[in-house]
Chain A
Amino acid sequence: NAGVTQTPKFRILKIGQSMTLQCTQDMNHNYMYWYRQDPGMGLKLIYYSVGAGITDKGEVPNGYNVSRSTTEDFPLRLELAAPSQTSVYFCASKPRGGGYTFGSGTRLTVV
């Protein structure tokens, strides 16, 4: 049982480049989330999904897109990377009424 798997663990992007952060869970959880964590700050919700085919914006969605074509996968897309998107990104999942399982994070630097 792998839990929540995020790839890559580290990435350096140039301004204007695009990339997809991958997130997969094997626990059949309905709910999935993307958070960003900036130094000294609490986690901020970017996007979330309550099930396959359903996504919704969180607190800080600008510059990001998501899709949820399957229960297992919830990729996060950055279309035009900006220095303000330098952060650590965490994916999480939870079952209905249950606790959260977090991935190990992706450290992204935009230069």
Chain B
Amino acid sequence: KNEVEQSPQNLTAQEGEFITINCSYSVGISALHWLQQHPGGGIVSLFMLSSGKKKHGRLIATINIQEKHSSLHITASHPRDSAVYICAVSQYGNKLVFGAGTILRVKS
């Protein structure tokens, strides 16, 4: 079993829909990260969380430390949100463990 599990693996949504991507982890962490990667592109850090909730524009990230679970929400989705969303956890020692990613496609 992978230390970081994401669901779903693939997600297709219609423009305007509310989207949720989930991440569960099984190891002790110092922080959880949500990353975005566009096709053929680089990786952008969206959020770093150690507790609670963060919001940036239409993106919201939450984490429940007790349940070892995080969610990334996208409100009013747009085709430009189409990308791979990667959950990663920082273990003590400043190294990241990555999930396999969720491929999101938003259709207009």
A interface residue numbers (CB < 8 A to B): 31, 33, 40-45, 48, 50, 58, 90, 92, 94, 98-105
Contacts and interface: CB of A to CB of B under 8 A. Distances in A.
Given A41-B100, A42-B98, A45-B96, A100 B45 contact: yes
Nearest to A41: B100
Interface in B40-55: 41-45, 48
A90 to B, nearest CB: 6
B98 to A, nearest CB: 4
Contact of A99 (B4, B48, B86): B48
Contacts, number: 48
Contacts of B98: 42-44
A89 to B, nearest CB: 12
Interface residues of B, number: 19
A102 B45 contact: yes
Which label, helix, strand, loop or mixed, suits the secondary structure of the B interface? strand
Interface in B12-55: 33, 35, 41-45, 48
A94 B94 contact: yes
Contact of A103 (B42, B48, B99): B42
Contacts of B95: 33, 45, 48, 58
A52 to B, nearest CB: 16
Nearest to B48: A99
B44 A104 contact: no
A19 B29 CA distance: 35
A58 B95 CA distance: 9
A13 to B, nearest CB: 20
17 contacts: A31-B94, A33-B95, A40-B100, A42-B100, A43-B98, A45-B95, A48-B94, A50-B94, A99-B33, A99-B45, A100-B48, A102-B44, A103-B42, A104-B41, A104-B42, A105-B42, A105-B43
B100 to A, nearest CB: 5
Nearest to A100: B45
A33 B95 CA distance: 9
A103 B43 CA distance: 7
